[in-house]
Amino acid sequence: MSDDRLIVALDVPNILQGLELAGRLGKAVSFYKIGLGMLTGGGLALANELKAEHGKRIFLDMKLFDIGATVEAAVRGLAQYDLDLLTVHGDPQVVRAAAEGKAGTNLKIMAVTILTSLDRADLDANLIKPGDLREITLERAARALEAGADGVIASPQEAAAIRALPQAKGKLIVTPGVRPAGAALGDQKRVATPAQAIADGVDHIVVGRPIWQAADPAAAARAIIAEMSL
């Protein structure tokens, strides 16, 4: 039985491999993330096929960032695909433009706070203001939600604190950087187990490699679903 709290990242090169993986996962998975890595490999076509032909939910991870008019136009175009979630950078002016672009549709705008692959040294290199990474994440989350985001993307290590924000009431928290117990970290630095993420108030967890690199991806997905419910 699937559980849409689990979003599987289809981090494969093209639509054919994406469909093949989705076929192997079958009814075990009901929600998929399609990101920039597959954009030139038919990502939008795959999103449309999985949604329209297979009844799957779709998280389009584009992390849009541009001037307001461009973001608004891009979101308006993407909203026509009847997708579920779309990421934009959490800067308030970007979020406001995205909210305008999706007006009248069911698309949820998810704001990126601080990427889960970054730590304080990375923020220093990017000239992000000094301070505790966690506090900066919380501040960005609050500002994005005030600007009209339907939810935020955040590390599981900040999820509980974001859930406690007044601005987060009724909003979604989606968490990458989730790894089943014993799984390799890959390029993620700020991680948690599925059970811990759910306990901290996360609505959806995003898992990629631990599922699609498994010998039996459907079994790996079912194991994570079971782990979420512990």
Cα 63 from Cα 44, distance rounded (Å) = 15
Cα 56 from Cα 230, distance rounded (Å) = 25
Assess whether 63 carries a catalytic annotation.
yes
Cα dihedral 151, 189, 134, 178, rounded to 10, equals: 40
Cα 131 from Cα 7, distance rounded (Å) = 31
Range 96-100, long-range pairs (CB < 8 A, 24+ positions) = 96/68, 96/147, 96/148, 97/68, 97/69, 97/71, 97/72, 98/64, 98/71, 98/72, 98/148, 98/149, 99/147, 99/148, 99/149, 100/72, 100/75
CB 97 within 8 A of CB 86: no
Place of tokens 């990502």: 43
Given 33, 63, 169, 189, the catalytic residue: 63
Token representation of residue 83: 């997708």
Token representation of residue 100: 């305008």
Cα 46 from Cα 32, distance rounded (Å) = 10
- Rounded to the nearest 10 degrees, the angle between the axes of helix 15-25 and helix 43-54 is 30
Instruction: Give the residue numbers marked as catalytic.
Output: 63
